Each structure stands twice: as C-alpha cells, then as structure tokens.
Amino acid sequence: MPPPPPPSFPVPGGSGCRLCRLSFCNMAVNLAELSLPQLEGLKGQFEQETEFLTSSIAQLKVVQTKYVEAKDCMNVLKTENKGKELLVPLTSSMYVPGTLSDVEHVLVDVGTGYYVEKNVEDTKEFFKRKIDFLTKQIEKIQPALQEKHGMKQAVIEVMNMKIQQLQAQQASQSGTTKA
C-alpha cells in the first residue's frame, strides 16, 4: 500500500491552539497529542519538503532566465546586421570569429538533442511559450511551499509549547522536592 500523501495545511481546532491539527488524507492529526520525538520527525519532514520545493523553484527560475536571455538575443537578428562579424561560442570560455549570414532563420534546441529550424518570429513565440509555461509551474509550486512552511511553523509552535510545559513541570517538581 503506498504511503499517504503529505499533510495539508493546518486546520482550526484542537487543544486551544489554532494550529494544533494537521489533516492527513481525510484524517486530522492533533499535534498536541504527538510526542516531542514525533514532532521533531514531522518538523524534519517539512524541512526536507520545503528545501525540495525551494530548490525546484530555483531550478525553474534558472531555466526561465535562459529562455528570457535567448528570446532577447533574437533582437540581434535584423536585416541591418546581416554580414556583420561576431564571436561564436565553442564553449562557455572559447569563441571563434564568424559572420552573421542568415538573419531570418535559427536552429532551436527543442530538447533531447533535437534541433528545429525556425524563423525569427516563430522562435520568439516558442521562447515566450516556454517562459509562460515555467512561470505557471513556479506559480503552482509557490503555494505548496508556503503551505509546507506554515505546517512546519505550526509544528515548531507546538514543540515550543510542549518544551515550556516540560520545563514548568520540572521547575515545579524541583520546587516541591526542596520544600
């Protein structure tokens, strides 16, 4: 049987704390009923999930930036630039001189090693679609990241309450043993 999906955002209720319940599938978990080690494990899980989502957003933004730069570079392809000299990159740090001979067509890497010849306007539209797609993906991940962060904060809040309760119990016990 597959493991249950990650918990949803904390729901109101439970032990007087507005963030003391987490909803798993259709079950609510009262955070106040969990032990400190269980809460620590839950906090660790939420930290891993937030790190993963943060990393995913960063990677999407890197790819998005590359598409934006590529789309901007298309502005160089004008008829008045035909025949002009330029540097052609062989690697990220090595270039050879070249001449711009065709300002109407480019080869576009469409993924998995395939290149397609497109005219300038089709290429700009291709990059625009890619940029829009990545923007939508980032917008989908942002709420999930905020949700996980909120759940982690709820767990930390309950952990702090439990630690304070333990400290108060220990202080009252040590006070009664001295008396």
Residue 26, pLDDT above cutoff 60: no
Q: Is the pLDDT of residue 178 over 90?
A: no
Residue 9 phi, psi dihedral angles, 5° rounding: -65, 145
pLDDT at residue 179, as a whole number? 52
Q: What is the pTM of this model?
A: 0.72
The mean of the pLDDT values for the chain is 85
Q: What pLDDT was estimated at residue 34?
A: 87
pLDDT tens for each residue of 41-72: 999 999 999 999 999 999 999 999 999 999 99
Alpha-carbon gap, residue 42 to 22, rounded angstroms: 11
Please check whether residue 116 is in contact with residue 110, taking contact to mean a CB–CB distance below 8 angstroms. Answer: yes
Rounded Cα gap, residues 171 and 178, in angstroms: 11
- The pLDDT value given to residue 155: 93
Q: How many CA atoms lie within 13 A of 83 on its CB side?
A: 2
pLDDT digit string (tens) for 70-115? 999 998 889 899 999 999 999 999 999 999 999 999 999 998 999 9
- Amino acid found at 154: A
Question: Please, which pLDDT band fits residue 132 given cuts at 50, 70 and 90?
Answer: very high
Tens digits of per-residue pLDDT, 134-145? 999 999 999 999
Tokens of 80: 């008045």
- C-alpha distances out from residue 156 to 11, 19, 38, 61, 161, Å: 16, 10, 12, 30, 9
Determine the pLDDT at residue 16: 40
Cβ atoms of 27 and 87 closer than 8 Å: no
Residue 2: pLDDT over 50: no
Instruction: For residue 108, give the nearest of 96, 116, 100 by alpha carbon.
Output: 116
Amino acid at 15: S
CB atoms within 10 A of CB 147: 19
What average pLDDT score do residues 142-167 get? Answer: 93
* pLDDT (mean) for 152-169: 92
Instruction: Report the alpha-carbon distance of residue 142 to residue 157 in Å, rounded.
Output: 22
